[in-house]
Amino acid sequence: MASLSAQIPLCLALMMAACLMIGINGSIDGAQREFDYFALSLQWPGTICHKTRHCCSSNACCRGSNSPTEFTIHGLWPDYNDGTWPSCCYRSQFDVKEISTLLDALEKYWPSLYCGKSSTCFSGKGLFWAHEWEKHGTCSSPVIRDEYSYFITTLNVYFKYNVTKILNEAGYAPSNSERYPLGGIVSAIENSFRATPEVICSKEAVEEIRLCFFKDFKPRNCLASKTSCPKYVSLPAYVSMGREASESEIAWISDDEAL
Ligand code: U2P
């Protein structure tokens, strides 16, 4: 039997080999390590649609009176506690047929607010939904393991916490003239959601609000980050840009032209 002094270097060598296999990002065999929490990222059409320079059929900002007036879904993102996130975790090409029963809800609550196709991990360019599934959905294991589950879970979480309603009820209504205290918006969400959201701004306008969740979808605080928002922010009202209203002001292009 080997002596204790002979076993110690052997153990060290085995440990070093294990460390090399695991790699610096903690992954085994190049795979990305399991995420820590989810962020549901919601986008505010009033801010994003305001920047629209071209219209096309895939852009929900261009639906005129049917354009979204409430926060819509950007994505459900698995994140790490250090502020980074995994992406494009395994090859799973988006297949719209798998979510055919969800398409009406997705068009309404998870539309693209831009023209043009989105980059995807494995298939080049595709729908906004393909981008979100391939980049984020594939990293949601072991909580979410397939495309349909990714979209239905995200819709269900979105329906459970109506941020537009929470803000309206606290007196923060869409407006092109008012400015609201950022702290008031955060507190309104905290009071209802029981955890601190992340607010992202474009200049002074609220562009995204992110709600964070433990892996069992219980609310948790988002990471305390340096906010991109000033102390007083706006929640711009939706500016209609339908065919009827904007034909003369805004160019309509085909989705392919927008590439
Ligand atoms: O914030 C800019 C873009 O970075 C990606 N992002 C951000 C935060 C986060 O927790 N996870 C994450 O992926 C988003 O990229 P997208 O999904 O749009 O490609 C976000 O838009």
Identify the pLDDT of residue 6: 47
Structural domain harbouring 228: 28-252
Catalytic: 74?
A: yes
CATH number at residue 124: 3.90.730.10
Q: Is residue 165 part of a domain?
A: yes
Q: Is residue 11 part of a domain?
A: no
Number of domains in the chain: 1
* Ligand 1 and 85: CB distance under 6 A: yes
Catalytic: 136?
A: yes
Q: Which of 132, 134, 147, 198 is catalytic?
A: 132
Cβ-contact 115, 258 below 8 angstroms: yes
Q: Is residue 33 part of a domain?
A: yes
Q: Is residue 2 part of a domain?
A: no
Give mean pLDDT in consecutive 10-residue pieces for the chain, a chain of 259 residues: 44 37 37 97 96 90 94 98 97 96 98 93 91 98 97 98 98 98 98 97 98 98 89 91 58 69
Q: Is residue 257 part of a domain?
A: no
Catalytic: 247?
A: no
* Ligand 1 and 110: CB distance under 6 A: no
Q: Is residue 87 part of a domain?
A: yes
Q: Is residue 158 part of a domain?
A: yes
Q: Which of 136, 198, 207, 208 is catalytic?
A: 136
Q: Is residue 7 part of a domain?
A: no
Closest by CA position to 155, among listed 125, 117, 90, 111: 111
C-alpha of residue 167 to centroid of ligand 1, in Å: 23
**One-letter amino acid of 55:** C
> CA 39 to CA 42: how far, in whole Å?
9
